[in-house]
């Protein structure tokens, strides 16, 4: 599916004696979305945004080995040894088999001649994408980040390259000093490499401004004033958003662990290399006891300072643990990490709050089991019960209020809470609502 994204101008960043100004250019074909605000606690915002960028660049898939040379060697040896095994076979069959092997040998020779060219082509392709990654990241990326301006927060969302990790930055309205009027909604933003580099320059003593603009400018009126980007929009992103939201609505085990505990886990993973299975993190949860984390396959046990007070006692095992490295740079600046575990081999959600800003990471069950292609949590979250209220009316209430809960919808629509929850889940399935498992709220979000 191909889509053209148009921007009134590129996103820019400007640093002067008054501070750092981040001007995000919103996509022109979407509903107008705009906000102009000064970011309070801007250093925390910058650190979280840089962690989000780690997710955008992240690819934790195991590189596939090239076995072509080995297969060619096996084919050559097979051809050499084949006549020995044909001595006792009738002459006609031998003739056919010999002819076939000659053709195979000829084919192997052609492949052998082509292989250096294929290597050169692959090398050139790799060099091109490496150059593109360093010099024009926008064209290398599949999709611009999604930004949602809500009544109580501004949210940035993105997936990793392998689509196994989802990242979300939430900037609450309390951390924004807003100027002028705000146009609420969801859109793509132009997030250039130059803009990302400028985030590194944010300091606590230097104010920072967040500005999302929508300017209806004709593409033909001014050369260079508009940026039009034709990209392949993967349907997997849309489906990935659905799976992340659906999984978040499922019941799970919520715990808090100390930042120093997770830092110790990541330190051990950075120092050691697994050479055998299992490669998992095991959470040992016993009511009234300290939370324990066991790192396999070395059976290293780390005891946290927090006590488990939940009802779901037992052991929960997670895979794809090295993806948690995206949180490493934030751990020195926070005391705790909120974790929601859906079960062994199931997704997990990790949340860190930094100076009032929040960073949420959603990890699929394991690296190869990405959110988009293999997750079907929308089916688990769906209810077989018939929804007896008008979904369109629920959508209009959500658009009007921007933030709501099942309890509020039940009161407004004069129905029970279960029906209201099912209606909101249906909106999540359609990409019209966003679920926040921390505050247990639903937000409007027209992806």
Residues 149 and 268 in one domain: no
According to the model, what pLDDT value does residue 25 have? 46
Give pLDDT, residue 231. Answer: 37
Q: Alpha-carbon distance 375 to 247, whole Å?
A: 9
Question: With left for phi above 0 and alpha for psi between -120 and 50, is residue 129 left, alpha or beta?
Answer: alpha
3-class DSSP state of 148: strand
**CATH code of the domain covering residue 420:** 1.10.10.10
Rounded to two decimals, the pTM is: 0.71
| pLDDT (0 to 100) of residue 214 | 58
Q: Which pLDDT does position 23 carry in this prediction? A: 52
DSSP-derived 3-state class of residue 356? coil
Nearest to 330 by CA among 47, 41, 55, 52: 47
E strands, 259-400, where?
281-285, 290-295, 300-307, 314-318, 336-341, 348-354, 357-363
Both 99 and 132 in one domain: the answer is yes
Beta bridge partners of 433: 444
Cβ 206 vs Cβ 341: under 8 Å: no
Residue 240: the pLDDT is: 79
To 5 degrees, how large is the angle CA 314–CA 332–CA 48? 90
State the burial class of residue 270 (Cβ atoms within 10 Å of its Cβ: 0-12, 13-18, 19+). exposed
| Location of structure tokens 């659905």 | 242
Q: Any bridge partners for residue 109, and if so which? A: none
Domain count, the chain: 4
281 closest CA partner among 337, 320, 311, 307: 320
Instruction: Tell me, yes or no, whether 339 and 415 share the same domain.
Output: no
Beta strands in 122-274 (DSSP E): 146-149, 153-159, 165-172, 176-183, 185-188, 208-213, 227-232, 253-258
Pairwise CA distance, residues 271 & 9, whole Å:
45
Residue 157's domain spans which residues? 2-62+144-234
Assess contact for 51 and 327: CB atoms under 8 A: yes
**Residue 254 β-bridge partners:** 340
80, 114, 137 — which closes off a domain?
137
Six-digit token pair at 292?
A: 């324990």
**Is 123 in the same domain as 257?**
no
Would you state the structure tokens that stand for residue 19, as one six-digit string? Answer: 């501070």
Report the Cα–Cα distance between both ends of the chain, in Å, rounded: 15
CA–CA separation, 155 and 146 (whole Å): 8
Q: Render each residue's pLDDT in the chain as its tens digit; 447 residues.
A: 333 444 444 445 555 555 555 555 444 444 567 788 888 888 898 899 889 888 888 888 877 777 777 877 877 777 666 666 555 555 567 678 778 888 888 888 888 888 888 778 877 767 776 776 666 654 555 455 678 888 888 888 888 888 889 999 999 989 988 888 888 877 766 556 666 677 777 888 877 888 776 543 222 222 333 333 333 445 666 777 778 877 887 888 999 999 999 999 999 999 998 888 889 999 999 999 999 999 999 999 999 999 999 888 999 999 999 999 999 999 999 999 999 999 998 999 999 999 999 999 999 888 887 777 766 776 665 555 667 778 888 888 887 777 788 888 888 888 888 888 888 877 877 767 777 767 666 666 555
Q: Which residues pair with 358 in a beta bridge?
A: 170, 353
My answer on whether 13 and 72 are in the same domain is: no
Same domain, 245 and 353: yes
Which residues are within 8 A (CB) of 407 and not within 5 positions of it... i.e. 6 or more apart?
417, 420
Residue recorded with tokens 């009007």: 400
Task: Report which of 156, 203, 206, 154 is spatially closest to residue 182, judged by C-alpha positions.
Answer: 154
- Helix (H) / strand (E) containing 3: strand 2-7
Q: What is the CATH number of the domain that holds 214?
A: 3.10.150
- What CATH number has the domain bearing residue 288? 3.10.150.10
pLDDT of residue 220: 23
- What pLDDT is recorded for position 289? 94
Phi-psi region of 185 (alpha: psi -120 to 50; beta: other; left: phi over 0): left
User: Any idea how long the chain is?
Assistant: 447
Q: What is the pLDDT at residue 291?
A: 95
Whose tokens are 């939370």? That residue is 291
pLDDT of residue 365: 85
User: What is the Cα–Cα distance from 300 to 266, expressed in whole angstroms?
Assistant: 12
Q: Are residues 268 and 314 in the same domain?
A: yes
**The predicted structure's pLDDT at residue 447:** 53
Angle, helices 417-429 vs 235-248, to 10°: value is 160
Q: Are residues 178 and 264 in the same domain?
A: no
* Domain shared by 34 and 173, yes or no: yes
**Which of the 8 DSSP states describes residue 26?**
B
CB 398 within 8 A of CB 414: no
Of 330, 356, 378, the domain-final residue: 378
Residues 264 and 341 in one domain: yes
Residue owning tokens 């009032």: 356
For residues 347 and 440, state if they share a domain: no
Sign of CA dihedral 203, 208, 214, 220: negative
Domain boundary among 324, 343, 378: 378
In a shared domain, residues 365 and 390 = no
What residues pair up with 36 in beta bridges, in sequence order?
A: 179, 211
């Amino acid at each position: 599916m191909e889509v053209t994204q148009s921007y009134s101008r590129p996103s820019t960043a400007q640093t002067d004696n008054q501070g750092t100004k981040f001007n995000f250019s919103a996509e022109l074909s979407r509903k107008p979305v705009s906000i102009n605000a000064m970011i309070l606690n801007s250093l925390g915002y910058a650190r979280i945004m840089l962690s989000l960028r780690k997710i955008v660049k992240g690819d934790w898939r195991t590189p596939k080995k090239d076995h072509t040379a080995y297969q060619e060697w096996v084919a050559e040896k097979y051809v050499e040894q084949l006549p020995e095994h044909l001595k006792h076979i009738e002459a006609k069959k031998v003739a056919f088999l010999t002819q076939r092997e000659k053709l195979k040998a000829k084919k192997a020779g052609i492949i052998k001649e082509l292989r250096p060219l294929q290597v050169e082509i692959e090398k050139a392709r790799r060099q091109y994408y490496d150059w593109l990654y360093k010099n024009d990241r926008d064209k290398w990326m599949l999709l611009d980040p999604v930004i949602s301006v809500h009544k109580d927060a501004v949210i940035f969302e993105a997936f990793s390259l392998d689509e196994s990790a989802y990242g979300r930055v939430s900037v609450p309205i309390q951390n924004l000093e807003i100027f002028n009027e705000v146009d609420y909604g969801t859109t793509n933003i132009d997030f250039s490499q130059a803009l990302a580099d400028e985030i590194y320059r944010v300091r606590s003593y230097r104010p920072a401004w967040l500005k999302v603009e929508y300017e209806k400018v004709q593409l033909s009126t001014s050369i260079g004033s508009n940026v039009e980007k034709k990209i392949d929009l993967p349907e997997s992103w849309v489906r990935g958003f659905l799976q992340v939201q659906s999984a978040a609505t499922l019941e799970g085990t919520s715990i808090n662990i100390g930042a120093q505990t997770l830092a110790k886990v990541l330190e051990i993973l950075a120092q050691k290399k697994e050479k055998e299975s299992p490669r998992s993190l095991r959470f040992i949860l016993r009511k009234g006891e300290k939370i324990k984390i066991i790192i396999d396959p070395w059976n290293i046990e780390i005891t946290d300072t927090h006590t488990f007070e939940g009802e779901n006692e037992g052991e929960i095992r997670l895979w794809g643990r090295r993806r948690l490295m995206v949180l490493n740079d934030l751990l020195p600046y926070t005391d705790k990490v909120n974790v929601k575990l859906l079960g062994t081999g199931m997704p997990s959600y990790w949340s860190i709050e930094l100076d009032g800003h929040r960073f949420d990471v959603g990890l699929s069950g394991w690296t190869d089991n990405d959110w988009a292609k293999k997750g079907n949590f929308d089916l688990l979250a769906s209810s077989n019960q018939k929804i007896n209220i008008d979904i369109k009316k629920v959508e209009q209430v959500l658009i009007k209020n921007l933030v709501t809960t099942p309890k509020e919808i039940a009161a407004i629509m004069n129905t029970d809470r279960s029906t209201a929850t099912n209606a909101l889940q249906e909106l999540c399935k359609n990409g019209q609502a966003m679920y926040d498992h921390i505050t247990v709220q639903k937000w409007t979000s027209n992806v």
